[in-house]
Amino acid sequence: MSTHTHDSIRAVQWTGTHLSLLDQRLLPHESVYLETDRAAAAADAIRDMVVRGAPAIGVTAAYAVVLAARRAWSEDGQDWRAAMAADLKALADSRPTAVNLFWALERMGQVMAGLPDGQDPEPALLVEAERIHQEDVDGNRHMGDLGAALLQDGRDVLTHCNTGSLATGGYGTALGVIRSAYAQGRVKHVYADETRPWLQGARLTAWELVQDGIPVSLMCEGAAASLMREGRVGWVIVGSDRIAANGDAANKIGTYGLAVLARHHGVKFMVVAPTTTIDMNAPSGAEIPIEERGQEEVLELAGRRVAAPGAAAWNPAFDVTPAGLIDAIVTERGVVEQPNAQKMKALFAAD
C-alpha cells in the first residue's frame, strides 16, 4: 500500500483566477469555501481563523501576494510595488506567531525584487506561489515517512490541535506522520485532544481522520495523563508554529503540558514541522512572540457565554515546549533527535 493514501483534503486551493479557502470555523457541520480575489480578504481570513495552521497560512499568504500584485498592476502599472504596500502589511499583521507567514512573504518579496518596473508581476509571482504550495505537500509526505519510521512499538498515538491537510498545503505535518504510519500498519488508532478553546481537535482533526478512514477517539485535554498511565500510547505527535534555534517549539496552547506528562510516563514526544517553521534568529523559546487572543473565546462557546458573569479569562494561543522534553523534531531535511542548538544548526548545514 502507498504510504501516501488516506489523503483526500485540500483546504487552500488556487482556482486559476482566485483563492478558495475551506472555512474551518464551520467544520465539521458544513464544508464551505470562501472565494476571494482580494489580498486584504485573505489577510482577514488568516486573522479570523478561516485558514489556520502555520504552513497553510504561509501558502495562503503566497497566493494573496499574487492577488495583491494583480490589483496593484491594474491600478498603477508603473508603480505596482508601492500600490501593493498596504496589502502586504495587512498580511504581515494577520498572525504574529506563525513564522511561515513571514517566510512566504519574504520569498515572494525576493521574486518581486527581481522583476522590472514595467512588467506585470502576476505571472512570475503565481509560479512562485504554486511552487511554495507543491513544496509543502512534497515535504509533508517526506516528513510523514521519516516520522513513521520512528514508530516501532505499534502502540496508539496522541495528537493535539490540527496538523493535517487543513493546517498545511496538503497531507499534513504531525497528521502526515500519522497518515503514513497508519498506511504502514504502525498505528492502528489515534487519540485526539479536543484542543480548547477553538476545538481544532474535535472539529478538524477528528473530521479529517474520519474522512480518510483512520480510527480516532476524541478526549478532553484533562484525560491525557490517565491515557498515558494506562500505557495506551507510545508517542505524542504534534506540529509547531515556530521552532527556536535551540529546538524549543511553540505550538497550540496545551502542548507543553502534554510534553511534561509524556516525560513522566515514559511516552515519546515528536514535533513535526517543515524547516520553514524553524526561526534560527530566535535563540530560544523565550524570543518567540506568543499571541494572546480575545477573552470571549474562553468565556463563550459558539457565541453563548458559559462562564460566570464577572469572570475574566487568560487566553494565550500558544505555549513553548522546551527542547529537553522533545525526543525528535522531524523535518523534510531529516530527523533531529534530542534537539539542541548544535543539532539544529547542523540540520541546515547538511545539504
Residue numbers in the known binding site for substrate are 52-54, 95, 200, 251-252
Instruction: Give the span between the Cα atoms of 240 and 256, in whole angstroms.
Output: 11
Active site residues: 241
Which residue reads 491525557 in cell numbers?
224
Instruction: Give the span between the Cα atoms of 190 and 213, in whole angstroms.
Output: 11
- Residue at 321: amino acid letter: T
b/e per residue 239-272 (b: at least 16 CB within 10 A): bbbbbbbbbbbbbbbbbbbbbebbeebebbbbbb
Q: What are the Cα distances from residue 7, in Å, to 3, 118, 158, 227, 239?
A: 10, 42, 19, 27, 18
- Read out DSSP for 24-58? TTSTTT---EEEE--HHHHHHHHHTTSS-SHHHHH
Strand positions, DSSP E, the chain: 12-14, 19-22, 33-36, 156-159, 190-193, 216-219, 233-238, 242-244, 249-252, 268-272, 278-279, 300-301, 304-305, 318-321, 328-331, 334-337
Of 111, 151, 147, 150, which is closest to residue 129 (Cα–Cα)? Answer: 111
Cell of 227: 491515557
